[in-house]
Structure formats: C-alpha cells, structure tokens
Structure 1
C-alpha cells in the first residue's frame, strides 16, 4: 500500500492514487479540529456496541450466468471500519430494518474515527447528518438545496472554526455519515427518486475519491438507484437480523431472570423471532420483562410498556410536569402508580398528554402522506399548533422528558425520538377510526386503473432494474400497529380489506401471531387473496403482492399435515393421463431437441406449482440436511458432508469464463438480442474478460462456498426467501433428498419427474410449443421479457397455466428433472435415469425469470451440473404411488 493512503482506506482505494498528503491545517484550525473531536468523544461516549450481536454482510452485484441481483457474501463483519477497509468504493449504504441499529453503528463509526485520529493527529474529519432533516419546500416548483450547500451549512453548525466542507472534500479529508436515506422528506415516490438522484449526482460530481461516505437506509428499494447508474459504484452492506441463538443469548445476558419464559414463547414462533431480530425491540423487551413477563407477544404492547415505564419514572422522581395537574390528571397518576390498566395497550387518557401526542404524530404523518418508513420533522411552531392545547409548551416538554419527542433547539425543529414511536402514536389515533384508516390506505389494483400503468412503469425502468411493487400509501406500518390496538381487530381488518386487501392481510398475519383474530377472518382473506393473485383483471404488481400476502397468511392450497418426521405441506397435484406423447422438436433451433419422437408415458400426478420456500422450511426444521436417510446415493452423501461441493461449480465458471474470453464479442451479441442487461454486459466484461486470474479465483471462492450446507444458497436473501416464492439455490441432490423426505412423511412415492414426464405435462398431447395454447406472450410467464427480474410467488401468471391447470411451467425457475443429459431419442432403460451417477449433468426444463422466450419453450433442454445451486434453479415434485 502506498504510504500516503489514509488509515480508513483499503488497498484498492489507495491504489487509485486518489488521496495524497493533505495540507496540514493551520494552528487555529487544528485547535478547532481538536475541540470538535473532543466534543464528539463526549457526546458519543455512550454509543456502545456489543459486537456479539452485530453481523454485517457485503452485497455483491452477482449473478448465475444472466441473472442480475445483489448477493450476500458469506463473510460476517462486526465493525464498519473493517468493511470500509476491504472495499475500494468511496461510498456505501448500510441497509437494515427499523431498530436494527443502523444509526448507532454510524455514530459508533464516528466515535471510533474521532478517537483514532485524535491519537494519530491525522487531519481527517467526520460529519454525521440525518437526511430526515433535508429540506422539503412547500412550493413544489422550488428545488431542494444542492446537497453540498446543505451539508456545508450543517458542517459549520457542528464544527465552527474549521475550513469549508468543500475545501476539505477537495483535500480528501472527509468521512461523511448520512443517516436515514429512506426518511428523506418527499411529496410522492417520484419526488423521492428525484431526491435520491440529487445525492447520486453529489457523489459523482462533488465527492472526490479519497473521501468516504456511508449512508444508512431501510432497504434496497430506496437505495439501489445510488448503485447502478453512470458507472458510480456504491456498495451495499446489510445489517443481518439476529439469529435465534443470538436472541436467546441476548435475553440471558440482559433479562436473565425472565429469559426462560420469554424464550419459550418466542422460539417456535416465526413472527416473534422476526420481531425480536433487531436490538431495538429486543432491548425494549428485556427492559419490560421485569414488569410484565407476558409482554413478549406483540409490538404495540412493547411500545405501550415503554411509555408506561417512562411515566412511572417521571412520577416517581417527582418531576413537576408530571405531579401537577396539567399534562396528566390525578386519575392518570393513580393508574400509572397502581399499574391499573384495562388491556395491553391502555395508557392515561384523562389528561391531555397521550391524546395530544397521538394527534401530533397523526398530523405529522398526514401532512407528508403517511410515514412510508420515514421520520417526519416539523418546526417548533408547527408542533405546537398540532398539539393544539393551552398547555402545548408543557406537553412538548413532557414528551421530550419521556424520551418520546426530540427537540432540536439549534434549528427549532421537533420529531419523535424514533420513527417507530412516531408510527405507534399515529396508530393509536388511527385505531379508533377504522373508516378513515381504510381511506388513507386505499390502493388500486385493477390493471386498467392502477397508476402508473404497468407499461408506463416499465418504460421508466432501465433494463436491469427489477419491477417494483405497487407504490405504497405511506400508512402501511402505522395501519398494522393500529389493527392490533383496535377495539375489534377483525372488524378493522375486514373494513380495511375493502380498500387494501394486501395490507389487511398483513394486519391479520400480525394479529394471528398473538391469537387476536378469528379463523373466519383469516379464511376470508386467504380466499380473496387466492382470487386476486390469479385475477386476469389484476395488474401484475397487484397479483405478485397478493401472492406474497397469501404466503404470509398461509396458502390453503398447500395442506399442512403432521407426519412421522414433523410437519409438512402436502402439495396440490394435477393428474396426467397415461398416453403416448410427442417429445422434442424439429424446429431446428437446438440440435439436442431433435428429432421429435413419440414416447409412451405412464399415468402420474405432478405438482401444480414448483416447490415453495414455505414447503422447504419444514424440511429444514425437520433436520432434513442432517438426516443421512434422505441422501440415498453415495454422491448425495458426499455432497451432504460437504466433500468437494464447490469443485464442479467453480470449474464450470472457469469454463464459461474461457468461452467468453475466446469470443468477447458475444457479450454484445447477447445484449443486442435482449438476452442480458446492460449492467450484466458490463459485469461480464469485468469478470470474464478483464479480471486477473488471481482475482477471479477469489471471486469464485466468494460465489461457491466449500462449507457443509444446511440450507439453500439464498435462504436468507429477501429477494428470494419469501414463503410464497419457489425455493431456489438448491442442487439436484437437495431436490431428491426433499422428495425422499416427503415420501416418508406422506406414505406416497414422490420423486423428480423425468424430462419426458415434465414435457408431457407441459405440452400435453396437443404438442404445444408453450404450456398454453398459442404463441409466446410475456404476460403469461415470468421470463426475461416480463422484466420482473426475480422470482414471483407461485401461480401469479394464470394465463400461462396449462389447460390442466399446472402453473409456472414456463419461466420463474428452471426445474430439475431426474434425467441425465443424453441425446435423443429418449429411452428410460438406456442409463439416463441412473440415479447413482452423481457427476453427470442433469436436465432442467422450463426456462426462468432471467432467460428469454426461446428457453421457455416446452422442448428446450438445459444441463447444469448436479451440484449447481443457481438463483434460478428450483424443482417440482411428481407422485406415482398412489396417484391422488
């Protein structure tokens, strides 16, 4: 590394020669810098981070051949400094759910940076700002200030006496920490995207290499645009949810006396494990278990408990605001002291404090069209007006004393101390008025009414950008909280379903986790979601959203059963009659499809859908990866033990690289033919043509792990792991192990279809080119032409069903078959159905979301290695004994 590289720069960044020796600051500025760092050390001294509960993972723009997505690296980090030291890019985004500790990690980074540079006397500086404070003018015609101008003002407010920020940026001195990109004020989704574009241009034009910027953001949906335009590389790093073992360890450390009971309630509940997978909620729970050991079950109850404890603290300490009539009534104080609550959400209601905080939160969100994951900030005068009470000043002070509100005195602005508390108090207001709640959350779903239309939305996307979900209303999270606090949660959800079916389903999914909804409400929503997900009048985005919501509630088309090895989901099957079927094609497109020939096929039943993540979850829970019984060949058992599992995929990638190097012009051919995106073309050139051998081998090591596998490749990737999506990232051996397990669970004979059985089910006796009658149509399947750019919930392309009702046989995911790849004619007795051949390539059928129409034909055959685990590789089951 060159000796002029700054201490926070990794070797690749230093190699770019971006940062030379900064000119030393003059003595007066040096003193100001010392004072600034000392103030940071004092202000941030309490920002402790227990690294036992921190897991950060870098996301790479990776793909299996033609697929563009973000892929997590296997390596975990516990410190942002380590991440920055490893990447060359000048900017990155820290992603994570609300409450996961993003702001704390940024502040901790600033503290560590100040402490380190105070010791080594380096002239680097850091600036932390919340993008929730980035101005939004009431006049839409007026532009927001340039990011650099706004940052300059923030800098001089925090660090008077130091040179202009622009000067320090030119001298490569700055670590910029930009918190809460998703909370940036905006008028609508288009306005938000325009504001993100302003920050992208700032990084490109006003932020020279050698400086470092770290944004924080709720999800890739908000930040991805920073990463993929104009050759500006912005890395993404995700704060991983805490694992069940980490949750248990946290409880035993911080709530030892109540850990056993709380963990017993949480451990087998997926909803609660998800809720407590962030430090914020887990700390709330730990603090409140001493008061109420039963509080673990629900999020709104957690916030209610937080407010109750804060009130108890202030009343016990005799704070004047809380012991005199004014913000609280005498009856309120008595109830707080006696802990006399009518239910889990009850708070003082005789004095104006709680009703006023509810009104303030509701007004703040209503002004900005809902919260949509952002923390709203208003001026002091606006806050007092929203409180609308003669004691408004005292109410504001009381909210601040309770740590519910946060007043920024330097700018006379007010916000709730955490976005989730803002949503909670707004939800309390909303819970009492179901009709307004439904109107606020109203969302169109019909293809001829939704705006922007699907065609208009696709026209705005670059070729690599995934199809986004329908625009949110901004009231989603608040409404879910409100449902849990409503007097009649079922009536609230049913009323909401008339305006926003998907959101009503999310509410009921949360209510069901705490047994606060009736079975008939669940069944009603399940039936309506099934209908919506397959309604030809519904926009594709609405069908996908309905399919995902159905997966969250539980899809009744999959019957949950109890077998000798635990729970399983019985898949819906479609019977295929015994007959002679025409197999192959004489179109002349691919030699291995020829020649077309007749093959007799016995009767069988095939899965209506590809195997989903919900089904696979139960295989994992049953110990399917550990039980050798399901891994029935020696090759499968070697794979299960992790012996050489990365060798084949790595060698295949080397071969693909060599083929591209031998003819790099084919990348442009693929792009021109619409087979890959422009971003994929750039990456293919970088990886397969330009990258040095050693760097490529390191890349292969990150792509293909040689460790023992206990779950699919992308099991923790939210782009692929929803219960309703087909399971992907499974190899041929894993698919067969699942079939063996399902057979033992049901007493029936489940297996992979042969390629002939698969083609017979897809083409039928009418010899269809695609599973449906007629020519290719991108509205009938999830292929490259559909521009979804990811897997979709099973069955949301009803127009692509076969006449018998089998879904997704073109597109979505490639499907493993039992057959070895051999030339035609097909003969089952020529060795191609030999399951003990663990190394031969196996046929996959059906195409996938990242391949085009030619590969989605019923006759097309592809042939990966049996150990391949691509993000587009799944399967469906076949049943032969007995046929249901």
Structure 2
C-alpha cells in the first residue's frame, strides 16, 4: 500500500479492516491517519439498507420494486424492535439481516427463530472456503461443518455471559480458556492431535468474521450481546437438566433474556419441556418445600410472561396444557394482588396486575353470568367476593373547620345516618366490564396507558355511568347504581374520622398518586394501574383504590353540606370522590370532593366510577 501511494500520490486511498488486524506495528509502519468507526445510528441504518439492496439491483439480482419492498420491510422490523435496533448498529449484523431477508423473503417475527437464522449465516462464514481453506479443512475434518461446534459455542456463550466482563455486557473469554475448551472438545470427538487442531481453529477465527471475535491480544467476545444471550439460553435449555438451569438463574435479571430465548429454541421440538418449565414456576412448592412468597410471586410473573412470549395459542396447538397452566397463574396472581403485606414493590405488582388482566382477571365480573354469581355470593353472606358489605349506621362526613387542607365545600365535619345496608364494589369498573356493555366508547379508549382490560375505565360522562347501571340492573334483576357521596365516604372511612382509608396518616405504597409515581420510576407505568394493586390501602369494608388511581363519579348533586358557611346547589353537576393517579396525597383524603358537569369531557384520563348494589335512592 505504501508503494502504491508513493507511485500515485494524487490517488486518495481509504483502507478498511477489522480493529484487531490493524496492530500498533502496522500503524507505525504505515503512518497514515487512523479513525475507528462508530456503531451505525438508526439514520445510517435507514440509508445503508436501501443502498445494500440497490447493489443487488445494479447486479441484476433484484428488481427495483423488490428492493424497495425489502428495504421498507427490514427498516420497519428494525425500528419496531429495540433489540434488533441494537444489533443493527453492527454493520456485519445488519448485513446479515438484509441477506437473510433477501434469501428467504421474510424475517421471522419470533426472536429465537430470527437469531437462529442469523447465527446460521454468521457461522456459515467459517464454512466458506477462503484462501483455499475453510474451518473444516483447518481442523483436518472436511466432513465437519460449524454445526458440529454448536454445543461448544453454546457452552462458551454460557460461560461468557456468567462472566459479563466487557463494557457492553458481553463476557470476555481468555484465549487460553478457549484453547482448553477446544482441546477438551476435540479430544472427546477423537480428533487426532487435539492440541494442534485447537491452535489451528483459534488461528482461523482470528482472521475470519464470525460468532466469536477477538477483543484484544489475549481475549475474545461474541459478535453481539444478543447472540451471546441466545447461545447461553440454548446451553441452558438443551442441557441434561434444563429445569434446574432455569431455577438456578431465574432470580438474576441478566439471565432473563437467555432464559426466554432458550425456551423459544426448544419450543418447536420439545413443547412439553416448555410446559414442564412453566409448571415448575407456577407450582407453590419447590422440591417439596413451600417457596418464599416473594419468590413464588416472581415465579408466577415469569411464567406468565414466558407464556405470552411463546404465544399461549401456539402452545395450545402443540398440546400443552394451557388451560391448566393459566388457571394456576390466575389463582396465584390473585393471591399476589390480595397480599396486604405487599412483599413485592409496586412496579412488580403493577406488572402482575397487567398479566392477570391479559389472562382474564377473575376478581371482576364481566359477563352477566359472573355478575349473577357475585350477586348470589352476597345473598349468601359471602364477604370474600367482588362486593363489600357496608352496614347501616352513623358515619362521619366532611372535614373539620381548622383543617388547612380542606376547602369550604368540604366542611363542616358532620355525621349522617345511613338507614339501609348496601354493598359496594371492591374495585372501580374496569375497561373489560364496560366493554361488555359497549354502548358508549370512553374518551380514553385509544390511550395506550389507560385502555388495558383491568384498568379502571375512564373518560366517561356521568349519564353514561347511569346508563351502564340501568343495563346491568336489568340483566341481573337487582338494583345496581352509583353510590351517593355519603355512601362513598362511609365506605372509605368506616365508622371513624380517619383521613385515609387505612388511618389518619399518609403511608407510602398505599395508593396510586402522583408523588408515588415519580415520573413512572416507582410504578413503572405512567397512567392508571390495574385495579387492586395496593391491597394495603384497603378501606375498612375491604374496598380498594378508594383513594388514588381514578376519580369516581357519585350519584349526588354538587351542593354544600348542611351547616356550611355559604350554601349552594348546582343541579347540572355531580360530585366525584377519591382522587387519581394525577393528584397529590392532599387530594386523595377521604373527605375531598370535586365536581364536574354532566357533559364534562375534561376528565378524560382520570374520571371513572364504581357501583353499589342497594335499594333505589328515594327521590
């Protein structure tokens, strides 16, 4: 190169090579400026992909329209997957994705399948003959392909992931460690001169792109963390005792992705191993001993997430006992969300709530038959179901005159007498319950952080809530209605003057409010949360989410209390209670009340309701 540059000084030259190959000695001899290329940005990927397919058009391998379609498909797939975006930062890996799409016409949407196919292409680089030799020739076994080395590479990936010693999470493997592993592997394979074969194999990998690449003078790393995780997962789930591997690593978040990928690898050929893994996680006991509650709860969540990742429908088609697994998951997740000791932080409880909603949350009646079942429970005196009993009696309402947090319309503190027994819903009405009626579309229905099945329905006009109650009353032959605000506050406070459903003082992790949210860091979620994620915040009657999460419409007109300094009544406005995930702890005290007009649409993201079963309100 120096001679060429000297002879043709007007010619501009750019030399590219792998970082490892351009040693300090070569830099000193050449004396040219050196720049290390940064990973590709997403914008560069958007430019690279059509340019790569454009070269195939130029060489007659693709029509222009085909190249355009492939480019758009690949870019959309990369943009839609955070993991593929990270992989696409490597020119080698984004090239392999483009090549895979070109050869097969589609990219698998299943991560393990996609990574397997990328690995086949990557390992195929070692099978290609270059300079008159491929890897099999270097080993002296022309009948071998790199597939023969997969178990060893999987084991090395597992060891690398366990080390996790590089800056990006990949594990460095020492050259001597790899040589020893190769020698052991070749001895077991009865290769002659295993020492020599190991040396030739390492030398070959030094000079070829592939799965395992040099990272320094005496160390190697895998081409990308995702591929390391994939192969480590293969090692776990293809081992002699895969269930033991899963149980040993399930508590370490670094092993979450390898576990998911390994389960995906074995699903096609051994779905009953997937079932076994799921069943061991769902089981309350491990090796005959009850799991600690926090451990069991996290196992349930892991099993539910694995089931979603592997596609419950596909698992059922593979004859896996999906119905039994999901029944166990529902029971376990209900137990998790009812545990008032709350051994898991709220972010995990919220995750568990969403998982339960996706499975079909049995805590809330959705069908007419389920509502009738809950009605039968209260008629039988069952206090454990959806409805909570509130006895007739005298209850404190409002706030004292000297309370600095109270507004005039929330005063004075006074007593009311409720003559009739009533039953209040344990939770606010959810999206799933509302959709069973389906006559009105909530204004929050298109908001991704508000429209999951067991989140409280929000974005409702007050007349719609009454229409829902009328419909439900007809369906189950009982009086279902909105609570009056006196009934609501009596349910929240019980028989005393407490400020919050659990007592006089604010307690952290008892309600979904804005201080507790901390920009989604605490709850892990920006909107309302699935009903019942704060069991420790239950009211004396057992109802939860009476403070925070969503405001709740009541049946009562907006008017002052008897004895207030200034009297008013607004016939076209109704009272809401409870506060929401968008309010501070001051606004979720039991006596706080706000109002909205009948047709008010401003509370799109925070106004919901719950129902009571009770006698009709006297006109």
TM-score normalised by L of structure 1: 0.44
Deviations 1:137-162 (A, max 9, x none): xxxxxxxxxxxxxxxxxxxxxxxxxx
Q: Deviations over 1:60-81 (max 9, x none)?
A: xxxxxxxxxxxxxxxxxx9xxx
Give distance in 2, aligned partners of 1:847 and 1:483: 43
| 1:540 match | 345
Aligned residue number for residue 489 of structure 1: 274
Q: Distance in 2 between matches of 1:843 and 1:386?
A: 75
Residue 503 (structure 1) aligned to one of 292, 299, 302: 302
Question: Tell me, what secondary structure is at the counterpart of 1:481?
Answer: helix
Give the Å deviation of 1:771.
2.0
Matched, 1:583 2:589: no
- Cα distance in 1 for residues equivalent to 2:71 and 2:49: 24
1:536 is displaced (CA, Å) by 0.7
C-alpha distance in 1 between matches for 2:340 and 2:246: 26
Match of 2:249 in 1: 440
Cα distance in 1, alignment partners of residues 68 and 429 from structure 2: 40
CA contact (8 A) 1:404 1:417 kept: no
The corresponding residue for 2:409 is 592
Match of 2:170 in 1: 376
- Residue from 576, 585, 594 that aligns with 1:853: 585
- Contact 2:493–2:540 (CA under 8 A) maintained in structure 1: no
Alpha-carbon contact 2:49-2:71 (below 8 Å) kept: no
| In structure 1, C-alpha distance between the alignment counterparts of 2:498 and 2:610, rounded to whole Å | 20
Q: How many angstroms apart in 1 are the aligned matches of 2:408 and 2:417? A: 19
SS at match of 2:161: helix
Aligned to 1:811: 548
CA distance in 2, matches of 1:397, 1:731: 71
> Could you report, residue by residue, the CA deviation over 1:196-240 in whole angstroms, capped at 9, with x for unpaired residues?
xxxxxxxxxxxxxxxxxxxxxxxxxxxxxxxxxxxxxxxxxxxxx
1:520 to 324, 328, 334: 324
- How many angstroms apart in 1 are the aligned matches of 2:408 and 2:253? 52
Q: Name the counterpart of 1:712.
A: 445
Aligned CA distance change for structure 1 residues 597 and 525 (closer, same or farther; 3 Å): same
Residue 757 to residue 440, structure 1, CA distance change in 2 (3 Å): same
Tell me: CA distance 1:712–1:436, structure 2 relative to 1, closer, same or farther (3 Å): same
Partner Cα separation in structure 2 for residue 733 and residue 852 of structure 1: 28
Q: Is the 8 A contact 2:455 2:531 kept in 1?
A: yes
User: Is the alpha carbon distance of 1:473 and 1:770 closer, same or farther for their aligned partners in structure 2, counting shifts above 3 Å?
Assistant: same
2:602 maps to what in 1? 868
Shift of 1:523: 3.1
Correspondence for 2:82: 98
2:395/2:416 contact within 8 Å kept: yes
Choose the corresponding residue for 1:354, options 119, 137, 150. 150
SS of the residue aligned with 1:598?
strand
| Corresponding residue SS for 2:254 | coil
5+ long unaligned stretches in structure 2? 1-8, 17-34, 54-66, 187-196, 283-290, 371-375, 377-384
Distance 2:178 2:408 in 1: 76
- Offset at residue 758 of structure 1 (A): 1.9
Residue 388 of structure 2: SS of its match in structure 1? strand
Q: What is the rounded CA distance, in whole Å, between the counterparts of 1:365 and 1:301 in structure 2?
A: 20
Deviation at 1:475, TM superposition (A): 1.5
Alignment check: 8 A CA contact 1:810 1:856 kept: yes
Partner of 1:229: none
Count of residue correspondences: 490
8 Å Cα contact 1:359/1:429 also seen in 2: yes
Post-superposition offset of 1:435: 1.8
- Alpha-carbon separation, structure 2, partners of 1:604 and 1:410: 74
| Aligned pair partner of 1:45 in 31, 40, 51 | 51
Matching residue of 1:275? none
1:535 Cα deviation after fit: 4.4
SS in 2 for 1:352: helix
Residue matched to 1:763: 493
SS in 2 for 1:45: helix
Counterpart for residue 877 of structure 1: 611
Give the whole-Å Cα distance in 2 for the aligned partners of 1:397 and 1:711: 60
CA shift, 1:582, in A, is 4.4
CA shift, 1:387, in A, is 6.1
Comparing 497-506 with 356-365, greater Cα deviation is found at: 497-506
- 1:259-316 Cα offsets, whole Å, 9 max, x none, are xxxxxxxxxxxxxxxxxxxx99x97998469xxxxx98x6545555666798999999
Q: How far apart are 1:492 and its partner, in Å?
A: 2.0
Question: Structure 1 531/559 Cα, relative in aligned 2: closer, same or farther at 3 Å?
Answer: same
Whether contact under 8 Å (1:95, 1:102) holds in the other structure is: no
Q: CA deviation at 1:784?
A: 4.8
- Of structures 1 and 2, the larger Rg is shown by 2
Query: 1:536·1:799 contact (CA, 8 Å) conserved in 2?
Result: yes
In structure 2, relative to structure 1, the CA distance for the partners of 1:548 and 1:385 (3 Å cut) is: farther
Judging changes above 3 Å, is the alpha-carbon distance between structure 1 residues 314 and 784 closer, same or farther for their aligned structure 2 residues?
Answer: closer
1:822 equivalent to 2:559? Answer: yes
Q: 2:428 aligns with which of 600, 606, 610?
A: 610
Q: 2:502 aligns with which of 764, 772, 783?
A: 772
Give the Cα separation in 2 of the matches to 1:481 and 1:100: 14
Distance 1:873 1:800 in 2: 20
Kindly tell me: are residues 438 and 854 of structure 1, through their superposed partners in 2, closer, same or farther at Cα, counting changes over 3 Å?
same
Give the structure 2 partner of residue 365 of structure 1.
Answer: 161
Residues 535 and 582 (structure 1 numbering): CA distance in 2 closer, same or farther, change over 3 Å?
closer
For the residues of structure 1 that align with 2:136 and 2:368, how far apart are their CA atoms?
Answer: 57
Aligned to 2:253, the other structure's residue is in SS state coil
CA offset digits 1:303-341 (Å, max 9, x no partner): 5566679899999999975988979997x98xxxxxxxx
Partner of 1:424: 230
Question: Partners in 2 of 1:422 and 1:711 — Cα distance?
Answer: 42
Residues 872-881 or 307-316, more deviating: 307-316
2: CA distance between counterparts of 1:129 and 1:737? Answer: 59
The CA deviation at 1:606 is 2.6
Give how far 1:858 is off.
Answer: 1.6
Q: Which deviations, in whole Å up to 9, do the C-alpha atoms of 1:239-263 show, x marking residues without a partner?
A: xxxxxxxxxxxxxxxxxxxxxxxxx
Please tell me whether the aligned partners of residues 550 and 579 of structure 2 are also in contact (alpha carbons under 8 angstroms): yes
Contact 1:284 1:306 in 2 (8 A): no
Instruction: Write out aligned runs for 1:131-142 (5 A).
Output: none
Tell me the distance in 2 between the aligned counterparts of 1:852 and 1:308: 55
Give the CA deviation at 1:558.
3.0
Superposition deviation, residue 868 in structure 1: 1.7
Residues 311 and 440 (structure 1), Cα distance of their counterparts in 2 relative to 1, 3 Å cut = closer
Question: Cα distance, 1:762 vs. partner?
Answer: 1.5
Q: TM-score, normalised by structure 2?
A: 0.60
Match of 1:558 among 352, 364, 369: 364
Q: Over aligned residue pairs, what C-alpha RMSD do you find?
A: 5.7
Change (3 A) 1:563 1:854: same
Q: Against the structure 1 CA distance between its residues 562 and 326, is the aligned structure 2 distance closer, same or farther, given a 3 Å change threshold? A: farther
Residue 573 (structure 1) shift:
2.6
Q: How does 1:308-387 map to 2 (within 5 A)?
A: 352-368=148-164, 376=170, 378=172, 381=175, 384=178
* 1:605 partner SS: strand
Alpha-carbon distance in structure 2 between the residues aligned to 1:44 and 1:722: 38
For residue 856 of structure 1, report the CA deviation from its aligned partner.
2.0
Q: Is residue 812–residue 847 contact of structure 1 (8 Å, CA) maintained in 2? A: yes
Contact 2:205–2:212 (Cα < 8 Å) also in 1: no
